[in-house]
């Protein structure tokens, strides 16, 4: 075999060997143990702090609101959709019975127009529904500029919750 072909084969073999070595070195340790992924990714993700809880843990203390909510349009919404992540609140708030709840455990109480129109803002890209049908799969839309903007005399803006109960709108 001519000299240059030999050298070429050696160069390619070195390249291949380097690739195989790198493959061994760079391949993540737990890769392939459970499937075509890094097995340690599962415990790593499980260790991440949790923020959300289940609606049933809210019901333990706020059962009245839950039964109110279950009768209206918002029955399919989790409490945390409006009030934010509540695991910390659900775990520790029970220890502060007398209203002395520290700020870090307080949940968000949406009550302003801006809160409601996150979902109910008129949106051309959403399917319109008739107001007289009870349908929880579609969202009522209003134009926040035209829909009862405020008191005509005092110019004070109305809040949505002045007329609509957020738990049973």
Partner 1 sequence: MEQHLQDLYEVLSKVDGYVYPNEIELNWSILIVLYPYITGLVAGAFILASLERIFKIRILKPTYGIALLTAFSFMLVATMPLVSHLGKPLRAYEIMITPHSSSAMAIFGFVYLWYLMVVLFLEIWFDYRRDMVIWAGETTGFKRFMYRLLSLWTTDISPKSVALDNRIGYIVTVIGVPSAFLLHGYVGFIFGSIKANPWWSTVLMPVIFLFSAMVSGIALVMGIYIILSKIRRQVIDMNCLDTIARYLFYILIIDFTLEGLDQIHRIYVAEESFEALHKLVFGQLFFTLFIVQGFFGTILPLLTLGTFQFYKPRAEIRKVIYLVLSVLILIGIFFMRWNVVIGGQLFSKSFYGYTSYKVGMIGAEGYLMAAIWLIVPFLILSFLLWLLPPWKKIETDHGNLEE
CB of 117 to partner 1, least distance (A): 7
Candidates 10-18, 46-54, 90-98, 157-165 — which segment interacts with partner 1 by CB under 8 A? 10-18
Number of neighbours of residue 120 by Cβ within 10 angstroms: 19
Task: Tell me how far apart the alpha carbons of residues 156 and 152 are, in angstroms, rounded to a whole number.
Answer: 8
Task: Tell me how far apart the alpha carbons of residues 53 and 34 are, in angstroms, rounded to a whole number.
Answer: 29
Of residues 67, 76, 91, 123, which one binds partner 1 by CB under 8 A? 123
Token pair for residue 88? 């910390």
Is residue 51 part of the contact set for partner 1 (CB under 8 A)?
Answer: no
Is residue 4 part of the contact set for partner 1 (CB under 8 A)?
Answer: yes
Task: Tell me how far apart the alpha carbons of residues 36 and 39 are, in angstroms, rounded to a whole number.
Answer: 9
Is residue 127 part of the contact set for partner 1 (CB under 8 A)?
Answer: yes
Candidates 30-38, 51-59, 66-74, 80-88 — which segment interacts with partner 1 by CB under 8 A? 30-38
């Amino acid at each position: 075999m001519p000299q240059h072909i030999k050298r070429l084969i050696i160069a390619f073999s070195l390249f291949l060997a380097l690739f195989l070595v790198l493959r061994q070195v760079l391949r993540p340790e737990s890769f392939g143990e459970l499937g075509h992924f890094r097995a340690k990714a599962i415990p790593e993700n499980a260790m991440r702090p949790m923020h959300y809880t289940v609606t049933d843990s809210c019901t333990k203390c706020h059962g009245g609101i839950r039964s109110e909510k279950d009768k209206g349009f918002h029955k399919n919404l989790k409490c945390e959709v409006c009030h934010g992540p509540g695991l910390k609140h659900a775990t520790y708030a029970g220890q502060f019975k007398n209203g002395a709840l520290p700020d870090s455990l307080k949940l968000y109480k949406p009550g302003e127009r801006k809160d409601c129109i996150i979902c109910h803002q008129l949106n051309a890209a959403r399917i319109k529904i008739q107001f007289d049908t009870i349908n929880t799969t579609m969202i009522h839309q209003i134009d926040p500029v035209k829909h009862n903007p405020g008191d005509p005399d005092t110019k004070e803006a109305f809040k949505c919750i002045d007329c609509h109960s957020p738990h049973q709108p």
